[in-house]
Structure 1
């Protein structure tokens, strides 16, 4: 078999270098998104995020890197780390994030609307924190969602009709919030739904923002 010409070799080398540069640029986007999240954390008593610094995000605690997803971050799992603070809007730049689990005790504030850009998200769990605000209607735009857990918060309002867009949803848990009204018929269109939990002493009471 004839050896490839120098032109072909240089062309392939150029393509490889472009690919590496593109991958590095993408991982840099993810890196700064995670560093923005770290900066919004006001307390990390066990120093879980200590190595979130100059090293590659692939080696950071709670971060999983997937080479098959364009060299991007696949999952972020900070469960039980006792972190205090808020969610940075820049987290919405993790374009290839598939799993986001921030179940904790002390995160607070509102869920940034920028998270609507996480179109690859399949698992979205924020349980056992202290988030508040109106139930986000844009949740229905996260079409790939399979598991959605917002237990034990202070969300108020009605279950958004946009939930009917989540055709893959298997788990929906909004236990212990201030949900008003009735379960919309659109929820019955979720053919993959296996677990639906909306119970609790606060659920479906006639609350309004002025009562919270």
Structure 2
């Protein structure tokens, strides 16, 4: 009985987080989220874009890609403690990335590409230790590349193309031994590309062209 009560409480936490997130969406032109309502006859696992884990019934994936949505990311998404995949790409989300996303300790995929996010990439992003794929491309993000990115030891894809990231490329990126794809082109980076990047033995694709002209290959 206690186990059932605990499970129900945590599912309610997921439900509440999603409904607050829905309230931060100002436009849903195709009514994709029309069934995001509390009902005794249906489960949140039936809501559009939601996939739940078969074992414990918690929200496993939130995929709202290419739905024409306009709004901001509610900090309450950080309460989806069993979330593994978050894909909001190809929409019109805007505003800053909430630091509460770092609470998603099980997150393996974070795709926020092709939106209108601005502000800096939170330094707390290095706390997403399970992250394997991170795409923030085609936004308006600024600031520097946080050194905490080096803590993402499982990262395989890092795609920040087409933003306004500035400063230098930190040598700490060379610590990402599982990195296969690195895209940081079309930004405002400057300085020297660190030699450490060339020590990434798993790297298959590297895109760094079209920085401002001050960027150049490492010097011996």
TM-score (norm 1): 0.85
Deviations 1:136-175 (A, max 9, x none): 1111010000000001111111111111111100000000
Q: 1:152 pairs with 138, 141, 144, which one?
A: 138
In 2, Cα distance between the equivalents of 1:105 and 1:19? 38
Q: 1:176 is matched with which residue?
A: 162
More helix by share: 1
Q: 1:61 is matched with which residue?
A: 48
Q: Aligned-pair RMSD on alpha carbons?
A: 1.3
Deviations 1:169-202 (A, max 9, x none): 00000001111122111101100000000012x3
- Gap runs ≥5 in structure 1: 1-16, 207-212
1:105 deviation in Å?
A: 2.7
- Gap runs ≥5 in structure 2: 192-220
TM-score (norm 2): 0.82
Deviations 1:4-33 (A, max 9, x none): xxxxxxxxxxxxx22221111111000010
Deviations 1:16-54 (A, max 9, x none): x22221111111000010000110010101100000001
Q: Does 1:85 align with 2:68?
A: no
In 1, Cα distance between the equivalents of 2:103 and 2:176? 22
Larger radius of gyration: 1
CA contact (8 A) 1:26 1:71 kept: no
Give runs of ≥4 in structure 1 deviating > 2 Å: none
In 2, Cα distance between the equivalents of 1:125 and 1:108? 14
Q: Does 1:71 align with 2:57?
A: yes
Aligned residues: 188
